Homo-oligomer: A and B are copies of this chain.
Amino acid sequence: MAETMKAIRKAAREPGLVVENVALPRVGPNDVLVRVAAASICGTDVHIWKWDEWSQQRIRPPIILGHEFAGTVVEIGGQVQHVRVGDYVSAESHITCGMCFQCRTGQAHMCPKTKVIGVDCDGVYAEYVALPENVIWHNDARKIPPEIATLQEPFGNAVYATLAHDLAGQTVGVIGCGPIGCFAVGIAKASGAASVFATDIVDFRLELAKTMGADAIYNPRNSDPSGGDGRNGTTNWLIEANEGYGVDVVLEMSGSAQGITSAFRAVRNGGRVTLFGIPSSPVEIDVAENMIFKNLTVLALNGRKIFESWFKTRWMLEGGVVDLRPLITRELQFDDIEKAMGLLAAGEACKIVLRPSEVAHDTSAAASHVSPEDANVTGIVRHP
Contact = CB atoms under 8 A, between A and B. Distances in A.
B291 A194 contact: no
Interface residues of A, number: 87
A171 B303 CA distance: 25
Contacts of A365: none
A101 to B, nearest CB: 5
Interface in A306-329: 306-308, 310-313, 315-316, 318-319, 321
B287 A383 contact: no
A99 B134 contact: yes
B102 A384 contact: yes
A100 B287 contact: no
Interface of A: 81-82, 97-102, 104-107, 109-110, 112, 133-134, 159, 163, 166, 168-171, 187, 190-195, 242-246, 248, 260, 268-271, 275-276, 278-280, 282-288, 291-303, 306-308, 310-313, 315-316, 318-319, 321, 372, 375-376, 379, 381-384
Given A192-B316, A321-B169, A269 B102 contact: yes
B292 A288 contact: no
A170 B159 CA distance: 13
A295 B285 contact: no
B100 A384 contact: yes
Nearest to A110: B269
Q: Which of A268, A293, A382 has the most CB of B within 10 A?
A: A382
Q: Indicate how many identical chains form the complex.
A: 4
Contacts of A270: 102, 107, 110, 383
Contact of A194 (B134, B293, B300, B319): B319
A384 B245 contact: yes
Contact of A105 (B99, B106, B245): B106
Q: Which of A133, A168, A310 has the most CB of B within 10 A?
A: A168
Given A110-B269, A195-B319, A372-B244, A381 B100 contact: yes
Contacts of A312: 168-169
B193 A319 contact: yes
A-B interface, 5 closest residue pairs, ranked by CB to CB distance from nearest: A194-B319, A244-B372, A291-B300, A191-B192, A106-B106
